[in-house]
């Protein structure tokens, strides 16, 4: 059954399936708990395919981060066309709301992998991808606040602060297994962003 499914997929489709599986396994089990076999099982593909495409474990980490980057950055880009600044920020916070259940149960996949990765140089390319995703997120919020009338330096501070508060709330909500912590923080962040652009 697994082999039949594997034969129907094109090589790039197999790679994408394995990269997504790596992301899910690392998110669930942590980088150190993830194994080649668990990634293969998650993808429904033979373990040999994982070894072939990702010969070292840091290759799996990089593939997982590339998957996050490939989903998150286009999502932010798609919100750019959602009307006025207030409308775009509302859609953005709706998106954070939609992610809440999995963030409470597993934490933030990006932060988890970034924290779990060993510090050696083999992981530098993967680390840069993860940092780039966080930079894009902070930059997107900053751009909205600046377009909403905040001065550039203030927008940068507030954009970083919004992302920081959201990430901190994820850590606490996950640690306490308490969704209300994250719900309350996202609601407060909505009000904070609305107030920032209304004052200008």
Let me know whether 64 and 49 are in one domain: no
Please report, in angstroms and rounded to a whole number, the separation of the first and last CA atoms in the chain: 60
Q: Tokens 């259940």, residue?
A: 101
Let me know whether 90 and 179 are in one domain: yes
Please say whether the beta carbons of 136 and 76 come within 8 A: yes
Q: What is the pLDDT of residue 56?
A: 87
CA dihedral of residues 51, 54, 59, 60 (deg, nearest 10): -80
Can you give the residue range of the structural domain that contains 181?
56-198
Tell me the per-residue pLDDT of 166-186, one tens digit each, with 9 for 90 and over: 999 999 999 999 999 999 999
Q: Answer yes or no: pTM beyond 0.75.
A: yes
Cα(48)–Cα(26) distance, integer angstroms:
19
Stretches where the chain sits below pLDDT 70 are 1-7, 200
Let me know whether 66 and 131 are in one domain: yes
Number of domains in the chain: 2
Cα(144)–Cα(140) distance, integer angstroms:
6
How far, rounded to the nearest angstrom, does the alpha carbon of residue 23 sit from its chain's CA centroid? Answer: 10
């Amino acid at each position: 059954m697994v082999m039949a499914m594997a034969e129907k997929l094109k090589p790039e489709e197999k790679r994408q399936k394995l990269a997504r599986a790596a992301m899910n396994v690392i998110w669930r089990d942590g980088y150190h708990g993830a194994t080649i076999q668990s990634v293969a099982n998650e993808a429904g593909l033979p373990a040999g395919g994982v070894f072939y495409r990702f010969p070292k474990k840091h290759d799996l980490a990089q593939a997982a981060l590339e998957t996050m980057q490939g989903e998150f950055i286009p999502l932010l880009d798609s919100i750019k066309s959602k009307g006025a600044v207030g409308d775009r920020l509302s859609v953005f916070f709706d998106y954070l709301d939609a992610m809440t259940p999995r963030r409470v149960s597993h934490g933030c996949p990006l932060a988890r992998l970034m924290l779990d990765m060993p510090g050696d140089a083999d992981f530098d390319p993967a680390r840069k991808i993860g940092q780039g995703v966080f930079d894009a997120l902070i930059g997107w919020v900053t751009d909205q606040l600046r377009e909403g009338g905040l001065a550039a330096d203030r927008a940068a501070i507030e954009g970083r602060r919004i992302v920081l508060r959201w990430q901190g709330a994820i850590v606490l909500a996950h640690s306490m297994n308490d969704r209300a912590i994250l719900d309350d923080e996202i609601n407060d962040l909505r009000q904070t962003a609305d107030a920032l652009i209304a004052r200008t």
